[in-house]
Amino acid sequence: MQQLEHIHGGNITLASRKYGLPKEKIIDFSANINPLGPSKKIYDAITSNLDAIVNYPDPDCTELKDTLADYLGIDRDLLLLGNGAAELIYLLVRVMGCKKALIPVPSFCEYGLAVLSQGGEVIEVEMDEEEGFSLPAEKIIKLIPQADMLFICTPNNPTGRLVEKRAIEQILERSAAHGVLVVVDEAFMDFVPQRALYSMMPAVGSSANLAVLYSLTKFFGIPGLRLGSIAAPKDIIKRMDASKDPWNVNILAQAAGLAGLNDLEHMERTNALVNREKSFLFEELQNIPGLCPLQGAANFILLNISESGLKSGELTELLGRRGILVRDCYGFSGLAGRYIRLAVKNRPENEILIAAIKDILGGR
């Protein structure tokens, strides 16, 4: 692991203080959130449930769990809701007593930090940059006997790369023979147009060593409320349920999640916008000398700036002074100094980003 600290984007408060800008003047490309924000139904659900905060939330998230189970197409008894997927990662590692985890990198840092926080060890498996950071399935399969847990993120954060089902199935089969739990993080799967071709969610329950993480904060635009879930075999869910905080999902988060899952029109509008704007942003970045964007399936773009003449921290700082936040990838294994990650936003904001990058690089 490169760091033992939580490094993430989306810290508007810190950026506002650092650059002396009001929060409303900052455009945040550092957090991969739905560019449309929450749907009107979510806002209505929150305002109509404000009086309910005088009561404790439903500790079982009954109504939300039923709706989410239908949406994901799995048995409700295989689901557990949490205060964001991150809470569930830490809870899973603790409950399962993970001592050694395999993690393909670069990827989401909280997998490794969760393991390290429990005194465990992390074995990093480097993805080949020359092959577009594709999952090194053969390397992973060889290392499986050395671990008791494996994390796979698809689409991967920060690369956006999808993992083929067949590759995960092969890894699952090998892992089962060695009692290794495979944790597939599908936090960005809602942004994948043909998600059914890639999601491992339907296999939960039939595979005794498969757990799948799912986030409601990114696609439904509610990171400030925190809402995520995990699907896993019933015995694992029962153990996690018994070990979690009793009221870990608040009333407003439950209401917002329920409303978001019932707004199919907003989901369709979201994917139409993200697909259109991702293509626009990719083409524009590709046409700027010194930049090399990576094709991905999520709502963000990993950008190689190594030929631009700037380090990632330098470009991040120069954009930040203009009120534009991007994710410096120095905290991701193997990407330090050479990569930034950009969320896909709406056309006016994307145009502001492109103009700022052109101006900065053109002035050198």
Per-residue pLDDT tens digits for 138-177: 999 999 999 999 999 999 999 999 999 999 999 999 999 9
65 domain residue, yes or no: yes
Average pLDDT value over all residues in the chain: 95
pLDDT digits (tens, 9 = 90+) for 20-37: 899 999 999 999 999 999
C-beta of residue 113 within 8 angstroms of C-beta of residue 6: yes
- Predicted confidence at residue 363, as pLDDT, reads 63
Q: Residue 2 domain-assigned?
A: no
Give the global pTM: 0.95
Overall domain count for the chain: 2
Q: Kindly tell me if the per-residue pLDDT of 293 is higher than 70.
A: yes
Phi, psi of 49 (to 5 degrees): -110, 10
pLDDT of 77 > 80? The answer is: yes
Same domain, yes or no: 249 and 305: no
The CATH number linked to 346 is 3.90.1150.10
Q: Is the pLDDT of residue 230 over 90?
A: yes
The parent domain of residue 173 ranges over 40-262
Boundary (domain end) residue, out of 214, 241, 262: 262
55 and 157 fall within a common domain: yes
Give pLDDT, residue 1.
42
In a domain, 3, yes or no: no
**What confidence tier does 10 reach under pLDDT thresholds 50, 70, 90?**
low
102 plus 151 within the same structural domain: yes
pLDDT of residue 11: 82
Residue 26 and residue 71 in one domain: no
The domain spanning residue 241 has which CATH number? 3.40.640.10
For the cut 60, the answer to whether the pLDDT of residue 70 exceeds it is yes
Share of the chain above pLDDT 70, in %: 97
Q: Are residues 18 and 65 located together in one domain of the fold? A: no
Residue 183, classified by CB atoms within 10 Å of its CB into exposed (0-12), middle (13-18) or buried (19+), is buried
Q: Are residues 254 and 277 in the same domain?
A: no
**pLDDT value of residue 5:** 61
CA neighbor of 138 nearest in space, from 185, 106, 111, 174: 174
Q: Cα separation of 295 and 298, whole Å? A: 9
φ, ψ for residue 112, nearest 5 deg: -65, -40
Which DSSP symbol is given to 183? E
Domain for residue 63, yes or no? yes
Query: Is position 4 within any domain?
Result: no
Which is higher by pLDDT, 307 or 7? 307
* Statement: residue 189 has pLDDT above 90: yes
Asked whether residue 2 carries a pLDDT value surpassing 80, the answer given is: no
Residue 68 predicted with pLDDT over 70 = yes
Q: Could you tell me if residue 22 is inside a domain?
A: yes
Shared domain check, 141 and 233: yes
Domain-ending residue, one of 237, 262, 287 = 262
